[in-house]
Structure 1
Amino acid sequence: MKTRLLTTILACFLVTSAFSQAELNNYKYIIVSKKFDFLKEANQYQLNDLSKFLFNKYGFEAFVEGETYPEDLMRNRCLALDADVKKDPGMFKTKLTVELSDCNDHVVYTSGIGESREKEYKTAYTEAVRGAFESLESLDYKYTPKAGNSEVSAPVAAVTPTSSKEIEKLKEEIEALKKEKEAVVVKEIPAPVETIVEVKEEVTMTATDAATASGVLYAQAIKNGFQLVDSTPKVLYKMHNTGLEGVFLVENQSAIIFKKGDSWFLEQHANGTMKLSALNIKF
């Protein structure tokens, strides 16, 4: 009876390990948190740098949060797993585990527990982190793109009565915008350069808008939509799906982002006025 129980437990462990390895192989990058929750400062005791080093040592391509990311990662945030180190309770031991989560905050992998009996914090944490990473060493990670990984499929929001009203309102605004743009005609008459500039400046743009229009914004998948980041990368807008194709609601703003032809536009409403800005978005 005991032998059968041990065999069953071992089989379950081997199946779970194989599944974890196969799932991890589908992710190309690791992004290490710049500050672990159980520490007071970013990269305290150099644990974040150590974690990045150990990931790279065991075959992963790792970055610390905030570093410059590769272009494909900037376009598709779901190519990476977020890495965090968690501290388990223990009175006489320091116990740490490594946790990997996908772009939807789903935990994909949790390492074994790394332990240390050292009393000095830096020594204890360093020893425990190295112990936790021994689990990843045995996985023999090798990146294997899964089918359709380059295409980001965002979940579609459920349409409620309230959102239906908002969608109808958006339809009306877009139709009104189309009619307004069609009504603007630039007359072909001899005129100074200044006059032509004044006619074309139907939509005023601030310095920030101009910089956004000329610079490339990268769309990264988030829950129920995308976030737009610049090359820093800094998140400038979070836009959420609607029931309309190519139309998104902008989070925390009275604004929408929509596609017209091959171009993207940001329409903002404030103090009874509407401002339209062109966006250069890459998905």
Structure 2
Amino acid sequence: MFSQTNLNNYKYVIVPNKYDFLKESDQYQLNSLTEFLFNKYGFVALMEGSNYPEDVIRNRCLALKSNLLKDAGMFKTKLAVELKNCNDQVVYTSEMGESREKEYQRAYSEALRDAFKSIEALGYKYEPSANSSVAVLQEIETTSEVSKEIQQLREEIQNLKKEKEIALVEKVEPKIGTVTQVPVKEAVVEEVVNTNTPVVKELASGVLYAQAIENGFQLVDSTPKVVYKIKKTSIPDVYLVEGKNATLYKKDTDWILEYYENNVLKQDILNIKF
């Protein structure tokens, strides 16, 4: 049995949407029941893919990943609860819960509740560890450094814009003793080869930082706020943007976000750090 004290150092438990031994997500409401039972016995349970709290986004090692282990039996349904840390190491396995019910819904529910009796006996209560506190402090320092870097980039961009405005004004001939100021255009419209569809290219401001998630990355700003979630494809450096009819791909040294808006093909150039 795993040490109760060590288990208390974890603040969250992430519950999967689907178990490997079942065909559908939340089949027989088994995943929802798992979330309910973890919350009942003191944990903060999070469904996989939901909006995670900021502290677990900054430090994934605050959360354990849960799973159910099914033991094949002739006349019994047997389930055990397994918990893994952020390094995919098993840190706790409950006692095997059992049920003799023949109907699947009742059998899985009864076996899972029986397995949670050993978790209830732990008397879990979250106690932050020294390591987690250090990790949060390091994250705060990193965020501060990122904010400084972003501020420097913003200042550089503003300086470049001013220089560009001055250069354009100098090229325009004055009329009747006045200087006509030419506005700086940040978007350039060009024709796509062999088509009549205009493409609008825009340079997106700010740096986005890529954080690995399942099947891809989430791109966060300095807040940190999740701006995009991108999923891998079979083509290198080409991603699908979750929740948006858009693609992200690398061209030379630039990352291009391509999408349609009002029947106009647009391309945003993103500054991404992996």
Smaller-chain TM-score bracket: 0.5 to 0.7
- Number of the residue aligned with 2:182: 192
| Distance 1:218-1:63 versus aligned 2 partners, 3 A rule | farther
Q: Matched residue of 1:35: which SS?
A: coil
Q: Matched residue of 1:133: which SS?
A: helix
Taking only the aligned residue pairs, the percentage that are identical comes to: 49
Deviation per residue, 1:96-145 (Å, 9 max, x gap): 01111112211111111001111111111000000111111011111111
After TM superposition, list the pairs within 5 Å mapping 1:1-283 onto structure 2: 16-17=1-2, 19=3, 21-150=4-133, 151=135, 185-186=163-164, 188=166, 189=169, 191-193=181-183, 196-197=184-185, 210=204, 220=211, 227-229=217-219, 235-236=229-230, 252-253=236-237, 269-270=250-251, 272=252, 274=254, 277-278=270-271
Which is richer in helix? Answer: 1
CA distance in 1, matches of 2:163, 2:66: 55
CA distance in 1, matches of 2:208, 2:43: 27
Q: Which has the higher contact order (CA 8 A, sep 6+)?
A: 1
Q: Does structure 2 retain, via aligned residues, the 8 Å contact 1:32–1:65?
A: yes
Q: Does structure 1 retain, via aligned residues, the 8 Å contact 2:15–2:47?
A: yes
Deviation at 1:229, TM superposition (A): 4.5
| RMSD value, Cα | 4.1
Which is richer in strand? Answer: 2
| Distance 1:219-1:23 versus aligned 2 partners, 3 A rule | farther
- Number of the residue aligned with 2:192: none
- Paired amino acid for 1:253: D
Please say which structure displays the higher CA radius of gyration: 2
Question: Structure 1 length normalisation: TM-score?
Answer: 0.59
- Paired amino acid for 2:230: L
Q: Does structure 2 retain, via aligned residues, the 8 Å contact 1:74–1:220?
A: no
| Distance 1:269-1:65 versus aligned 2 partners, 3 A rule | closer
| Distance 1:105-1:273 versus aligned 2 partners, 3 A rule | closer
Question: Structure 2 length normalisation: TM-score?
Answer: 0.60
- Number of the residue aligned with 2:145: none
Structure 2 residue ranges without an equivalent (≥5)? 140-155, 170-179, 189-198, 239-248, 256-268
Deviation per residue, 1:140-179 (Å, 9 max, x gap): 111111113152789xxxxxxxxxxxxxxxxxxxxxxx9x
